Chains A and B, each alone.
Chain A
């Protein structure tokens, strides 16, 4: 039942978007605004025309003009369901998150499983510091999205963190995203970051290992592994990883070796190696062979 309902509601969003585009040809925003303005002037202006122009103004970042058009819609057809969602989008862009949230509320009363509106209300709540409500709405938005996107899981995780949820719960949510969407970098990165922040270095390394196993290029992973080991106080292992990173960089084909990204990585790894202050002698004062430095 939920899926069917979500499907219908998706079409509401599509229809609203089509409305903006319909009959305005293929111009840019300026031309589209001019076109609908002309129609409003010629035909007196229907609520849908003002609604469409408000959306165009919003996309154009002319929020005052968008607001004026929505006020006009409210005068002509105060009960139009799309009006509340349009206002929510507008006020979110205007950083008036309280109004954005209230308007989303209003729209969701008639379309309770509209994933876009749920996501917007969640983001508004998060901006207002009500992370509990935000997390709930992100959760519902994920359930109603087909398919959800990485943003859904990321923002839910942020809200959960803001609520001081246990890292395990946050990670569980992100892992759900990874299970649904695959090894998406933004999700994987955040799980590793959380493990590191929590001092669970082995867990972080394990996660990194899972990600790196899918890539033949390893220089970034060696460097990152070095960073984690360094934070864990395992300097010898960190040093070995940094050296492996440098070795992997030098083995790259020229075309990749000579990129700014690799030059920066190389410089960064060399700097971190220096920071690790290589010991040249052991505790008894004997010189260490290079392989042990």
Chain B
């Protein structure tokens, strides 16, 4: 049966000025959806059908996409009477005009083909894909079945522009099945010509630090590489040049100033192909350790390249407005089905084009990064601690600093997950070397999930939980981000749980609240020792799947499309889950308080006295101390020192080395509240220890004491 969709028919001959995704003036000679002649009768056409002057007037015609079996065809072609023995070869032809062909230096095809294809231009073979070398007959089968996202993806091919003729040209294409019982074929084609090379991917930004960034892009044909950059788009007064001829360009700009906006352009020789405008820029990262406000956009399992992915993307764009993210994290399964280069083109580079040319992206590997070579080729990732951290020697796992956050990317898919293995050993050394305020880790397989994957059942998830969480938590990890389950799940502030979900109880919650400033309060990590992390699964950036969503570690779980926005500034971290409609469905705040509990309270008349401090210790901010459950109506001696003495005293421990002692009196309930404005002039990093002592007849040796607290000025 043949089906024509008139609404999708577009002019066969398109001749318009067209700017490719990232610049370079070029012409579209044949557009997607063009009307093609086709022959779908399973006949042997020999070789004459490839020639320009072949008479195809008896062939049927219809707009692309042409094919059958997928449901997305504009024209359904026939496979013959037997679905178990389909025609191997289907033929397509299209005549198109071209003018000014002498001015074209490049010619490129974007081809959608399932399974194998050969393309001829004016009778000359110009490309062959997924078919064996040598003579092709109408019974020659494709080398491999095309499946998954590859069925939807266009691949770029450069062809010889000298084959193009003035006025009339003919493209002839044969599509070959891999097996006679295969369910589908697909075909569509675009042809571009231009006066310069094409940028077919990017540019995109990698390996960003405070003084360097790597710019990458792909061209249709191999060229040398130039990147121009400067502080104004019209004044790109510096250039880095690499004479190596390549299609995949990778140029590192170094010696940059921290936290500065640079505009840039990419090209070859002296020719700019993309950039040199307001849309192509990057901002170098702030100095490591700085308290700059940072914003990350986090996409998990975003690789479908479908309308749902677009919905999530556009919701973020609407929500963010002009404020671009500083970084993008990809939590794995970035390009379905197999992470092939063509999968990445459709699911990542075409999908997030405008973001990736201004925002560095840091990925991790998921179980669908099957073509790991492609992953390694596409991304430039640190192996030598180039962006902070310890050398891992592999791009599979790495770390980097951004402002005062140390990010750790682990490989839960392909690396040894055992304790003491190379990744574990690296992680331990890396954690021990970091001086950053925050530690955020990300990988693909979540340690806690009851979404479309079950952390009680699946090995990768269990091993990551059992092998890596104890180490991460022992170094005070704050936040762990994962994907894999196609849902959003977010934990309480928890610590120390490495068993299955049935063993989780309230004892593992360091804070069982919602973590919301307008709810039960932000999660505070001020206890001794530095305990508690929030675990977040965000794997619904292009699809959702069901699950029980009832892991007891989770405060919130929902099977809804969305992405995560992470904001960090100083000692505050905010995370929100933005759904595909642009609604914030969950959010929480995590704070590093400057106050620490030093313990060593000594019980007395009203139980165990407590001392708590509040305030940011910024000059002019309110500083509050509250004492509770001390002896009633008793003198109180507040001891303050800038170092710790930890002297055994009256059965307890005097923690501060006494520098000053102030006297107060408790009320009948054994309480004191002290409030004052914190003065300016105290050097940053000054630490103070405080503890209050009371004469207390109920105490064993006549003295009771609060816990000690310590505080450090920001």
Interface residues of A (CB under 8 A from B): 10-11, 14-15, 17-18, 20-29, 43, 61, 147, 149-151, 154, 177, 180-187, 189, 214-217, 220, 253-256, 258-264
Contacts and interface: CB of A to CB of B under 8 A. Distances in A.
B394 interface: yes
Given A150-B394, A186-B426, A254-B687, A18 B371 contact: yes
Given A14-B372, A15-B144, A23-B147, A185 B452 contact: no
Grouping DSSP codes into helix (H, G, I), strand (E, B) and loop, the B interface class, with mixed when no group exceeds half, is: loop
Contacts of A254: 594, 596, 687, 710, 712
Interface string B327-344: 000000100111010000
The 7 A-B residue pairs whose C-beta atoms are closest, nearest first, are A181-B393, A182-B391, A184-B393, A185-B429, A150-B422, A23-B147, A22-B147
B110 interface: no
Nearest to A24: B337
B337 A22 contact: yes
Interface residues of B, number: 59
Nearest to A252: B435
29 contacts: A14-B372, A15-B144, A18-B340, A18-B371, A22-B147, A24-B337, A26-B301, A27-B452, A28-B453, A149-B422, A181-B383, A181-B394, A184-B391, A185-B390, A185-B426, A185-B428, A186-B421, A186-B426, A187-B393, A217-B432, A217-B435, A254-B594, A254-B596, A255-B476, A255-B592, A256-B434, A260-B531, A261-B431, A262-B529
B432 A220 contact: yes
A243 to B, nearest CB: 16
B181 interface: yes
Contacts of A14: 370-373
Contacts, number: 146
Contacts of A17: 338, 370-372
B452 A258 contact: no
A201 B430 CA distance: 25
Query: Would you call the interface of chain A mostly helix, strand, loop, or mixed?
Result: helix
Nearest to A183: B391
B392 interface: yes
Contact of B338 (A21, A61, A264): A21
B437 A182 contact: no
B181 A43 contact: yes
Given A14-B371, A28-B452, A216-B433, 5 more contacts: A18-B370, A180-B393, A255-B437, A258-B530, A261-B476
A28 B458 contact: yes
B370 A217 contact: no
A260 B385 contact: no
Contact of B383 (A182, A214, A216): A182
Nearest to B394: A149
A43 B338 CA distance: 23
B651 interface: no
Contacts of B337: 21-26
Contact of B425 (A11, A18, A29, A185): A185
Contacts of B100: none
Given A22-B338, A261-B432, A10 B373 contact: yes
B459 interface: yes
B714 to A, nearest CB: 11
B370 A20 contact: yes
B571 to A, nearest CB: 9
A107 B712 CA distance: 63
